[in-house]
Amino acid sequence: VQLQASGGGFVQPGGSLRLSCAASGSISTINAMGWYRQGPGKQRELVATITFAGRTNYANSVKGRFTISRDNAKNTVYLQLSSLKPEDTAVYYCTAGRVYGLGPFQSDYWGQGTQVTVSS
């Protein structure tokens, strides 16, 4: 599976951005996609995931501000980032993999990172 991410950029606090991630290749091997991020000096964090059945999961740090959605026909996942804070500054990585039942998301594939910078 190949993942192509886009949509990062520079935004002021309180602003919004939308990230996109298009998947291609052996889509049948995955049933979920999501986004990780890694900020400067921070550990990698799983931000949000969505199964192809539509079940979503969010990190506590972004609940109520970020929304993950998908277009199965286009094999594309979106991450809407709203009410952005400076601490959201990070490289955001698209990922794809599987969720087994109600278990955790397991990443199998990674896209290139896209930089999100939140600053005044």
Mean pLDDT over the full length of the chain:
95
C-alpha distances (whole Å) from 78 to each of 41, 43, 71, 85, 103 are 26, 23, 8, 19, 22
Buried b (16+ CB within 10 A) or exposed e, 15-31: eebebbbbbeeeeeebe
Long-range contacts of 57-64 (CB under 8 A, 24+ apart): 57/105, 61/87, 62/88
Predicted local distance difference test score (pLDDT) of residue 89: 97
Lowest mean pLDDT, pick from 42-46, 53-57, 59-63, 102-106: 102-106
Predicted local distance difference test score (pLDDT) of residue 102: 80
pLDDT, tens only, 62-102: 999 999 999 989 999 999 999 999 999 999 999 999 998 88
